[in-house]
Amino acid sequence: MSSRFDIVDTALPGLKLSQRKPVGDDRGFLERLYCTQDMGDFLTGKCVVQVNRSLTKKLGAVRGMHFQRPPFAEAKIVSCLRGAVFDVAIDIRANSDTFLHWHGEILSAENHKTLLIPEGFAHGFQTLSEDCEMLYLHTAAYQPSAESGLNPRDPGLAIRWPLPISEMSDRDAAHKMVADGFEGVTL
């Protein structure tokens, strides 16, 4: 059987985009969201250990830019199942040539794209429609003591959000700016 994905590299080393290939007929479609055989190279010996789903109701809302510090760093496989989002990953690997560079992709139920985010990246998104539903596959379980983030409004990151930010959690708004001494993570 041929692969149900086309996986392409982005400008940030390790960050990949997967174009899913739904198979459909008059009844609808079947779509593979994950396959170890096809995505095993991305996971480099790790496996999915946690699956999360989120619903964000309001257009223009931002969630992010989240990551877990080592030794609980995680890779994520992120898909939008309903609505559309501008999904962003930031390279926070301290010794990377692309340190603090970001990449954004529109993920939607209609375009069947998935972002494959390696360890050492912060992740977040902005909703481009109401009632956006996201699916996350993680290679590490959530550890509250390792939780961290970057401020989505940080001018040092210069993320070009497509819409004015309509809402953000107090926690996300309180993340420090990179100018406050953020040195990245060492994996």
User: Which residues are part of the catalytic machinery?
Assistant: 66, 136
CB neighbour list of residue 91: distance below 8 Å, 6 or more residues apart: 12, 13, 15, 98, 99, 100, 101, 102, 120, 121
Q: Which letter does DSSP use for residue 176 in this model? A: P
- Cα R_g (the chain), whole angstroms: 16
d(CA 31, CA 135): 14
Q: Are strands 16-20 and 121-127 parallel, antiparallel or unpaired?
A: unpaired
